[in-house]
């Protein structure tokens, strides 16, 4: 368990808490923080002692999205080839991060207060559950910078209706915690002071369940969410049979 300059990693019993730690920059996602999150999520998922993960941000905000200054550096450093290569590598890193939440078997709960903008909104929604602090402002302001809410769009359109998703990425107006709750984007709204403890309490409840059953539940959830009904029922059948035989083996072992 190694914290870095940009990410604090701490264990509360079997819950690992990851705190994005660039409060002066509203936890904007530079390369170091993005890579740190990828590494930390992989490490937590590989650790059998970690049963659930909480992701939060230090200071006044959850996360202000992509580090705009770093982005400017990619395109303005006068070396077009290197800039293009750096931008490409960064796009892959960001995509890998957003992909990872649905690939790892450990459930992840976001504890988000203050601003969750662009990539920060994307991170909050990529988590399996979201506990919102009352001050949450979640939005996609990319168009205001002349860019596209690109990598974050895939998750957004899967989590709210199309009209709402398009409104969010086109108008760029942030939604408050109460609206996030009513849209089904958040699971709970609590005071900012209680946001991390509430997320940890939910994570602790998840941690009490059988690990392989929880992992299979998350894996199946993400598969059926994106499949046509007949195929979704087929993979559900496979999981059902696998879990029955698994339970039987464990009963026989006793
Ligand atoms: N990238 C890099 N730095 C950022 C940043 C980002 N996405 N968001 C905020 N910061 C920095 C600011 O530049 C400022 O740094 P400074 O003190 O060195 O000048 C610091 O964080 C605080 O920002 P500030 O705007 O004063 O904080 P605030 O609490 O008043 O407002 C936000 C917070 C998130 C509403 C505002 O900073 C903002 O709109 N950020 C951009 C969000 C965005 O467009 N994200 C999508 C990027 S594609």
Is residue 89 domain-shared with residue 7, that is, in the same domain?
Answer: yes
Is residue 236 domain-shared with residue 165, that is, in the same domain?
Answer: no
Q: What's the CA gap between 218 and 2, in Å, rounded?
A: 26
Q: What's the CA gap between 57 and 22, in Å, rounded?
A: 8
Which amino acid residue places its CA nearest to atom 2 of ligand 1?
67
Which one-letter DSSP state was computed for residue 194? G
Q: Look-up: residue for tokens 């001050």? A: 135
Write the DSSP assignment of 162-184 as a string of letters: HHHHHHHHHH-PPEEHHHHHHTT
Q: What's the CA gap between 56 and 74, in Å, rounded?
A: 27
Annotation says 142 is catalytic = yes
pTM for this one? 0.94
Which amino acid residue places its CA nearest to atom 28 of ligand 1?
26
**Whether the CB of 222 sits within 6 Å of ligand 1:** no
Catalytic-role residue among 142, 167, 173, 249: 142
**Whether the CB of 114 sits within 6 Å of ligand 1:** no
Q: pLDDT tens for residues 89-101?
A: 999 999 999 999 9
Number of structural domains, the chain?
2
**Structural domain harbouring 225:** 211-253
Q: In the numeric block, which tokens belong to residue 133? A: 């602090």
**Whether the CB of 139 sits within 6 Å of ligand 1:** no
Q: pLDDT tens for residues 6-40?
A: 999 999 999 999 999 999 999 999 999 999 999 99
Is residue 192 domain-shared with residue 241, that is, in the same domain?
Answer: no
Least confident residue range of 44-58, 80-94, 124-138: 80-94
Which amino acid residue places its CA nearest to atom 38 of ligand 1?
64
**Whether the CB of 117 sits within 6 Å of ligand 1:** yes
CATH of the domain at 23: 3.90.226.10
């Amino acid at each position: 368990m190694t914290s870095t300059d940009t990410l604090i990693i701490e264990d509360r019993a079997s819950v690992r808490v990851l705190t994005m730690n660039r409060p002066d920059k509203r936890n904007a996602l530079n390369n170091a923080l993005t890579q740190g999150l990828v590494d930390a999520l992989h490490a937590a998922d590989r650790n059998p002692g970690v049963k659930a993960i909480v992701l939060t941000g230090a200071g006044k905000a959850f996360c202000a999205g992509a580090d705009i200054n770093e982005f400017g550096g990619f395109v303005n450093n006068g070396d077009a080839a290197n800039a293009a290569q750096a931008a490409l590598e960064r796009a892959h890193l960001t995509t890998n991060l957003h992909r990872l939440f649905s690939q790892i078997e450990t459930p992840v709960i976001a504890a988000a207060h203050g601003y969750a903008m662009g990539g920060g909104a994307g991170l909050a929604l990529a988590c399996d559950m979201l506990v919102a602090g009352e001050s949450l402002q979640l939005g996609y302001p990319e168009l205001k910078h002349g860019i596209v809410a690109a990598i974050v769009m895939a998750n957004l359109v899967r989590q709210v209706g199309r009209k709402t998703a398009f409104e969010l990425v086109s108008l760029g107006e942030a939604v408050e915690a109460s609206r996030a709750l009513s849209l089904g984007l958040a699971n709970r709204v609590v005071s900012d002071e209680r946001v991390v403890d509430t997320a940890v309490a939910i994570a602790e409840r998840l941690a009490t369940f059988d690990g392989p059953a929880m992992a299979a539940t998350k894996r199946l959830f993400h598969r059926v969410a994106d499949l046509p009904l007949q195929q979704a029922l087929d993979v559900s059948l496979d999981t059902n049979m696998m879990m029955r035989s698994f339970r039987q083996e464990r009963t026989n072992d006793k």
